[in-house]
Amino acid sequence: MAATCSSDFGDLVQIKKQLITIISQCRDRGLVHSVKWASELAFALDPLPLNELPPPQELTEEDAQDLDALCLAKSYFDLKEYDRAAYFLRGCRSQKAYFLYMYSRYLSGEKKKDDETVDSLGPLEKGQVRNEALRELRVELSKKHSAGELDGFSLYLYGVVLRKLDLLKEAVDVFVAATHALPLHWGAWLELCNLVTNTEMLKSLSLPDCWVRDFFMAHMYTELQMIKEALQKYQSLMEAGFSKSTYIISQIAVAYHNIRDIDQALALFNELREQDPFRIENMDTFSNLLYVRSMKPELSYLAHNLVEIDKYRVETCCVIGNYYSLRSQHEKAALYFQRALKLNPRCLGAWTLMGHEYMEMKNTSAAIQAYRHAIEVNKRDYRAWYGLGQTYEILKMPFYSLYYYRKAHQLRPNDSRMLVALGECYEKLSQQVEAKKCYWRAYSVGDVERMALLKLAKLHEQLNESDDAAQCYIIYIQDIFSCGELLEHAEVSTALRYLGQYYFKSKLYDEASLCAQRCCDYNDAREEGKALLRQISAVREQGEASSTDLSLPCVFNPLSNNTTPVRRVSPLDLSSVTP
């Protein structure tokens, strides 16, 4: 199959034909999102000549019998009168009618549930509102399933029902079966995507070999934060002939967003908006990027633009929420996120963002709720896990926050922020050893906030491990100076202050005085610096010759002239510091 898969890409005509077929099939069954996906892809491919167009589906005897009922029911279905549609499909025997029958029952339950949610409570107090139809549907579908009477679409529906009932293990199996039965139905792949929690699980699935699978894998890699692989996949898909697909462009943009390559992502989103100016999907992600960059005018423009297109869309509400949040109007922001959730309670981004807003408003319990909902929707949302950690930290429950930070860390093992957070928690639990490990690790994976070393140093300081502390401060100062930016003066001064004292105690007066001098550059450490200098000169005046050193560490050269690039500390130099 691998051969057909790759050759399939060569045969774009074939793919296009398949897409056209599946579009009509999905449309007949009211699976609008899959229709949209397939249509977007089909649009990206060249149009087919008339004689190449695939013939319409052949009808069986049963189909013909059910045709009228199906037609009637479909019209009710499109008008969202699901119960009515189901009623008229009761006795039908064709597969298509059966699917529509079950699907309308399912949607009827969902609609009632959502109405209930909006009516009675805010989305925050979701409570016990449930889709009552699910259990019946499960029983009926499972009977059919074990009899092997379900087609690809019905399998998909069965999977959805199972997932809604939190029977995830069973759901995965059913979705895999659904993809085998009908590889072109994107909905099944997408559902599967939501259920795969890690790479091992992904590897263990036996998926059909079809060109759709590549799309799935790429999507999966993006979700699993394996961005490099994802980008590669998308690149190859583009090369295979889907270069015009807006779907792929948006996915790549999301991928860049996930690895925080903000510039790339912004560029892609701008391109996307040029190609598809009335697109609302993914614009919430775009607004996140603008938010991170604090690009107020752009965000404002985007928000206004989207309101013009459709103000009652989840994404629009999220964008507006972000906009208000950037302007520190957190109540309003929360209001808009709430509206987004009313529109779609399963909107992941809105839950997380709402959690952030509640955090800003210091409403921890609401924040916890919101984050939990986010996790319920998607367990791989590290921001929500991280947020939970933060809230529990505020609530002074370090064990809990430790757990949540760990979850976030599992999802993004190389993100220093989680590691620093973990370290802080360990520190609070007086597990200094673990804390030290975390900080060190945070530094070594590339510290974004440049806090890890400082925290590590302070920790050493507390534990009276002065050599280690000094070591850390040295690296810290080097780091700060090497990056050239002038941030966090106060912290540099503490480092210098400590180093001054340290060298003084180790009788390395030259270094000590150097540090002390540098201390005087900073307002808050000036007095101490001067005092230290006085002390040093006092000690020196006693005329000590014994303390003359053989080697003078060159660590402080960069301090004297910070315009020149810093040289890394050589091991030899550092070893001289240790006793």
Partner 1 sequence: MNLDRLRKRVRHYIDQQQYQSALFWADKIASLSHEDPQDIYWLAQCLFLTSQYHRASHALRSRKLDKLYGACQYLAARCHYAAKEYQQALDILDMEEPASKKLLDKSVKEDNGIREASKEWEVSPTSINSSICLLRGKIYDAMDNRPLATSSYKEALKLDVYCFEAFDLLTSHHMLTAQEEKEFLDSLPISQQCTEEEEELLRFLFETKLKKYNKPSEMVIPEMAHGLQDNLDVVVSRAERHYYNCDFKMCYSLTSTVMVKDPFHANCLPVHIGTLVELGKANELFYLSHRLVDLYPTNPVSWFAVGCYYLMVGHKNEHARRYLSKATTLERTYGPAWIAYGHSFAVESEHDQAMAAYFTAAQLMRGCHLPMLYIGLEYGLTNNSKLAERFFSQALSIAPEDPFVIHEVAVVAFQNGDWKTAERLFLDAMEKIKAIGNEVTVDKWEPLLNNLGHVCRKLKKYEQALEYHRQALVLIPQHASTYSAIGYVHSLMGDFESAIDYFHTALGLKRDDTFSVTMLGHCIEMYIGETDAYIGTDIKDKVRKTISTPALMKMLNSSSDNDDSRAQPLEESGIMALETPPNSNKPPNTLQRFLLECDMHESDMMLGTSLSDTST
Instruction: Give the nearer residue to partner 1 in terms of CB position, either 23 or 171.
Output: 171
Shortest Cβ distance from residue 170 to partner 1 (Å)? 7
3-class secondary structure, 320? helix
Which of 10/413 has CB closer to partner 1? Answer: 413
| Cα separation, 377 vs 486, whole angstroms | 41
| Least distance to partner 1, CB of residue 421, Å | 11
What distance, in Å, lies between the first and last C-alpha atoms of the chain?
Answer: 66
3-state class percentages of the chain: helix first, strand second, coil last, to nearest 5 = 75, 0, 25
In terms of Cβ atoms closer than 10 Å to its own Cβ (0-12, 13-18, 19+), residue 67 is: middle
Residue 426 or 503 having the CB closest to partner 1 = 426
Q: Identify which of residues 319 and 375 has a Cβ nearer to partner 1 in the complex.
A: 375
Q: CB nearer to partner 1: give 135 or 362.
A: 135
Q: Cα(148)–Cα(401) distance, rounded to whole angstroms?
A: 46
Find all residues with CB under 8 Å of 520, minimum gap 6, and list them: 526, 529, 530, 533
User: In the bound complex, what is the minimum distance in angstroms from residue 426's beta carbon to partner 1?
Assistant: 7
Q: Which C-beta is closer to partner 1: that of 59 or that of 433?
A: 433
Q: What's CA 162's distance to the chain center, in Å?
A: 25
Smallest gap from Cβ 418 to partner 1, in A, equals: 8
The phi and psi torsions of 205 (rounded to 5 degrees) equal -75, 140
Q: Shortest gap between Cβ of 177 and partner 1 (angstroms)?
A: 17
* Shortest Å, Cβ 239 to partner 1: 31
Taking the least distance from each CB to partner 1, the nearer of 137 and 290 is 137
CB 216 within 8 A of CB 192: yes
When the beta carbons of 317 and 566 are compared against partner 1, the nearer one is 566
Shortest spacing between CB 363 and partner 1, in angstroms = 17
Q: Which of 411, 397, 461 is nearest to 435 (CA)?
A: 461
CA angle 31, 36, 42 (to 5 degrees): 125
Question: How far apart are the C-alpha atoms of 405 and 384, rounded to whole Å?
Answer: 10
Residue from 197, 126, 160 nearest 33 by CA:
160
Q: Are 257 and 284 in contact (CB under 8 A)?
A: no
Q: How far is the CB of 475 from partner 1 (least distance, A)?
A: 8
Interacting residues toward partner 1 by CB under 8 A = 128, 130, 134-136, 138-139, 165-167, 169-170, 372, 376, 399-400, 402-403, 406, 409-410, 413-414, 419, 422, 426, 429, 433-438, 440-441, 444-445, 465, 467-468, 471-472, 569, 571, 574-575, 577-578
